Structure 1
Amino acid sequence: MDRLPPFDKIGALPVPDHQNADPASSNPGSIVNALIFNQLQREGVNLELLAGLTPDSANLFQWTQAVSRGGIWVDELTGTGDLAVATLDAVLPAFLRGMRLGGVAAAPNTITTPKLRVMNLSSTGAYVDFPILKEDGSALGVGDIKAGRRYRFEADGAGNVVITGAGLSAPSVVAQSPVGRGLFSKQAAGSYTWKVPSVAAGDPYDVFWVLGTCVGAGAGGSGTSTSGTQAGAGGGGGGAAFGWIPVTPGQNIPYVVGGASLGVGYAGNSGNGGTSSISSIMQATGGRGVSNNGNAGGAGGVGTGGQVNIAGGCGNDAPVGTANYPGGFGGSSLLGGGGRTGVIGVAGVAPGTGGGGGYTTTYTQAGGNGADGYVSFQY
């Protein structure tokens, strides 16, 4: 709805605003255009109807209710789960990017390519069918939409709607995408640069915040002693840090994924896991290594600079004076448990976890390797 000029000032905007009468200056005041009140009422009633409300002239809070609902609501979606039909209570010229529509599903979907049919999208009562996608842009699973549950659909501006609501299967983890929502992660040691996705200059759907996470690398465990009388201890797990970072679309952000240290024999020093970091904003140190001829497990790394900072798990100590019993487990990280102990120490699998210690009475065996660290950007 746009401004309307006073009735006595008909013409293209901008025109003078409405003016009050001023007898002292012989100004009779503006002649108010009745369309102002008519259009205001029509706009308000349409807002109430599309929010699923029944207009009530005695209720002065319906616009507040409509806006707080955050979208268009229908009582129930008719049709099937494969072609859900939303019949609007008021005519809507178009269902544009960012607009939301919600309703209760009548039936589950039996295919991975269901559609939402929105009725009353023009004065002729026409409709448009929109393919339904998950938040990450991937296809739905069969049965994701469940009868009797309320869902919200948001137009993505590309002819689709994105569905949110209870009961949906988890979206798949995707690699860096040029636009939209996604999760980019790296778990191979090295120094890299990540470019913030960009849609178009000034687009409100551009990425201006990312959730950064970094996990330090795990340390290797130790093996049995040459005499076969001492089992090995577990290496420490990497620390973690994560938090929201303000960014600019197209910005390049440097980051480092820490490298793991290798498992060693009982007489060796496994060394510490490498530090992972996101620019100079946050970092997570790697797990501590196992010392020469020691039965103590390595300490966990620590996170700094994040809104949340977490210490990695310590590697388990090895029993003193025997190699028959299991050695120490590797330390855990934010992303999982460490490598288990074994005749050959087991390497950490989840990013940032420590390697397990070895145990045997017959020969010398090294402990398990740690696992490289991890960095991700969620947007």
Structure 2
Amino acid sequence: MTKHFFARQYLNQLFNVLTDLGYQVVGPTMKDGAIVFTELARVEQLPWGWQEVAKPGHYQLTPSRKNRCFAWNTGPQALKPWLFKPEQPLWQAEQTEQGLCFHQAPAKVPPIAVVGLRGCDLAALKLQDQHFIHGPYPDPYYQAQREQLFIIAVNCAQSAETCFCVSTGDGPAATHSFDLLLDELEDGYLIGVGSEQGQAVFQQLTLGQQATIDQLDIAQQQLADASQQQRHMPDEHSLLKLTENLEHPQWQDVADRCLACGNCTLVCPTCFCSKQESTSDIKLQQAEQVRLWDSCFSEQHGYIAGKLFRPEIRHRYRQWLLHKLANWQQQYGRSGCVGCGRCISWCPVGIDLVAEAQTLLEGSPHESAHR
């Protein structure tokens, strides 16, 4: 990929071009002590000079010595809420003189340009696409927004303590599903094109020269630095063996610590559990069916035909971990974990998914119980 260099002060030009093309620009900003993605009007809203400290059960933003706007790795959410929305109307019903009339909720959505997605986020997007678009029952609401999506990815220059994307094969470099790709340097950005839509935007930018060998070397060294990670998820072949340890004592050990709050599923960029609820106006003349985010950690999620199929926390944690790491390989050809580490840092009690998977795979349940 040929890359060009543009100075930091020209980042605003990229925003202007996207806005002129009709895109709603969405990107990272600092809010309530975290990096969150929201609609942005100007580049000053980006989290300049901030980075995160992420550990099991801990997430904190701290000032960075470098005045960069992408000196962080992840926040509690990235792209998922903009495609698989936390609250999605499905259909409306209205009482009329002719009887009850049903209408499908409109799927018209604005074009969105998302800035700042990382390799793990793009891997999650690809998995969500498989479920919501390429499955037997495509979701029209997800698909409508996906078709109006423009992605500006950013290669990671460092990794947080909770990152393990190298072991899942999903980072730190962004390698697919983007329209434009940035590497953030001290004095500006390297930019590369990944699609025809990206080329159309690129041609409207006033850029300097093609990136120099020194600039390319710096970007490559940043990726090499980001590849030095503390955590390593077992390979996918090993993860399939998790299904052989359904009665491993570690399930109860983690259940004794787990609060079943569902935080891990809410921040996970690939989880897609949902439920549906009906609402009506006070006169009972209009009603609406709404899809809401749900979690397999809730008791009601496993409640079917009068029976609670996962009554204990150990059953719910086992369902989540086995589905994510093993069963998804049969459904989608790969694990459902992209190595972002969000579930580790946003767990109130600091349960480490990687450590739990490694423990469950160490020897036989009998040996582990007496270790």
When normalised by structure 2's length, the TM-score is 0.20
Structure with more contact order per residue of length (Cα contacts < 8 Å, sep ≥ 6): 2
Structure number with bigger Rg: 1
User: Which structure has greater helix proportion?
Assistant: 2
When normalised by structure 1's length, the TM-score is 0.19
